[in-house]
Chains A and B, each alone.
Chain A
C-alpha cells in the first residue's frame, strides 16, 4: 500500500503572532518498497512533511494514509501508538540522542517501553547488530566510546529493533567522513534490498541521491514542486539551480560538455557511458 497524502497543510503556532504556514497543500503518493529522496531548501517544508509520517505532528488540514492508519486533524495520539513502531523516524545527528550506559540498553530502550519481553528483545538485537555492521562484543560497551559513525549506527539500531516497515531519515550521512557516509548509505540499501524496508531520506547530497535513490520529491515553499524518477529528474538540472542545490558532478560535466557542442546521451549516468558518447567525437586510440 503506497503512502497517500491529501491536501496536507500545517501551520506552526496557529492563532499567535508567530503563526507560520509550513505546508500549503501537499498532495503525494509515495510508493512503498523503494528508496525515495526528499530534497529542497532549508524552510521548504521537508522536515515538517516527514514528521507527519509517524504522526509526530498532526495535520492542520488534510490527511495521510500510511501503514493502514488514516491521520487527520482529529486523530487522537493514543490511536497512533502502533504507527510509531511501523514508521521509524531518525533525526539529524541521532547519535546526540544516545543516553544509556551500554549499547545494549540503548538499543533495547524502545521495545522495553512497548512492553516487549526481554528474551524477544535479546533475539531482535542479535538479528539487528550484523545489519548495522556491529558485533556482539559492542553490546556491553558505553555508546560514548564509539566514533561518530558507529554511534550513529547504534542510534539507527535502536529504531530498527522496533522492526519498522518504513524508515525515514533526515540527512543520515551529514557530518561523516566519506568512507563512513558510504557505509551508512550501503546500510540503507541493504535494509531496502534485503529486508524490503521503504527508505525515505531527506538529503542535500545529490551524489547520494543519484547513486542510491529511485525517486525524488522536490519541496518548495511548502508545496511539492515535482516528483520524478531519479534518472529522469537529473536531466533537468535547472530545477536544482532554482532551489539552490548543486547538481551531482556527472550532471554538471554532461551539461558543460553539451554547452561546448558535444552530443551526450541524456540517459548516461556513469563515466563509462559518458566516455562511450565522447569516443566518436574526439581523437582516441581506437
Chain B
C-alpha cells in the first residue's frame, strides 16, 4: 500500500484556470518527498487537496489506500498531520503542554495517558524543558517544533510540511529540518515537504518539481538538481554544495556533482 496516490488530479479555484493540471504522483510509505517550485506553481494547493481542505475538480486522491471522500475524510485525517507556514497562526493552548494536549482532548484520549504522550512528543522535538512555557515567548523555530510535537502526539503515519520553515531564521530552519529528517529516519513517518529551501530538498529521498500546475521533474535530489536545463529554465536555486561542486568542475577539478559541503570536502581530499 502506498502512502499517497494521486491520479489525474486537477483543481481550479475559479472554475476557469486550472491551478493543478492532470497530476499523477505516487508517494511510497516511509519516503521523504520534497515538492519545490515557484509561488503559484500549485505546491500548497496540492497539500490542501491531500488533507481534504479543497476538493478536486477531477481525479482521485488515495491516502493509505483509501480514496478520499466526504465520508472518510475525518478518519483519514487521523493519519495525516500538517504543519503550516506561519508559526504564530497555529497555537491554541496557553502553554506548550496545553497546546500539545489540544488534539488529544479532541480525540478523547484518556487523561491518564495524556501526560505521558505529551512528554514523549515534546522530547522527540527537544522541547521537554519548555512544557510550561507560553508559546508567545518561544522563537519561531521552537514554535514550529511545538506544532510538530502536537502532530506527533496523534501518531500520524504521514506529516505534510507546507513551507514550515520559510518564516524562520537560518537557525530555526536548521533545527526544524533536522527534526524532519529524524522523523523520517527514526520513526519511518512518510514526509511530504513543500519547500523553497533547496538545502532541505537535498536531504529528501525524492524531489518533485512543480511548474504551472504540472510536474516538471521527479527523481532523487541528484537527478533533479543536475538537470541543468530545467533548473535554469525555472530559475531554481541549487543547494550550496552542488553549486560549489559545479563551479569547481568548471575549473577542471574532477569531482562528482555532490549535494553538500561534507561530501564535497571528502571528494576533494581524495584528489589530493
Which A residues are within 8 Å of any B CB, using their own CB? 42, 147, 171, 174-175, 177-180, 204-206, 244-246, 249-250, 252-253, 256-257, 260-262, 271-272, 274-276, 278-279, 281-286
- Interchain Cβ contacts under 8 Å between A and B, 7 examples: A171-B169, A177-B38, A178-B237, A179-B235, A246-B174, A256-B262, A286-B252
CB atoms of A271 and B271 under 8 A apart:
no
CB atoms of B261 and A252 under 8 A apart:
yes
Chain B contacts for A253, CB-based, 8 A: 240-241, 244, 261, 264-265
Chain A contacts for B272, CB-based, 8 A: 261, 281-282
Please tell me the number of chain B residues within 8 Å of chain A, measured between CB atoms: 31
Nearest chain A CB to B174 CB, angstrom units: 7
CB atoms of A245 and B268 under 8 A apart:
no
CB atoms of A271 and B243 under 8 A apart:
yes
Provide the bound-state CA to CA distance between A50 and B118, in Å. Answer: 40
Chain A contacts for B252, CB-based, 8 A: 279, 284-286
CB atoms of B247 and A275 under 8 A apart:
yes
Chain B contacts for A174, CB-based, 8 A: 167, 169
CB atoms of B248 and A271 under 8 A apart:
yes
Which B226-254 residues have C-beta < 8 A from chain A?
A: 235, 237, 240-241, 243-244, 247-248, 250-254
CB atoms of A257 and B265 under 8 A apart:
yes
CB atoms of A177 and B196 under 8 A apart:
yes
Pairs A-B, 3 closest by C-beta atoms: A285-B252, A249-B240, A271-B247
Nearest chain A CB to B203 CB, angstrom units: 15
Chain A contacts for B167, CB-based, 8 A: 174-175
Question: Considering only CB atoms, which chain B residue lies closest to A252 in the complex?
Answer: B261
Nearest chain B CB to A240 CB, angstrom units: 11
Interface status of B108 (Cβ within 8 A of chain A): no
Tell whether A204 pairs with B268 under 8 Å between CB atoms, given A147-B39, A284-B252, A286-B252: no
Question: Considering only CB atoms, which chain A residue lies closest to B173 in the complex?
Answer: A246
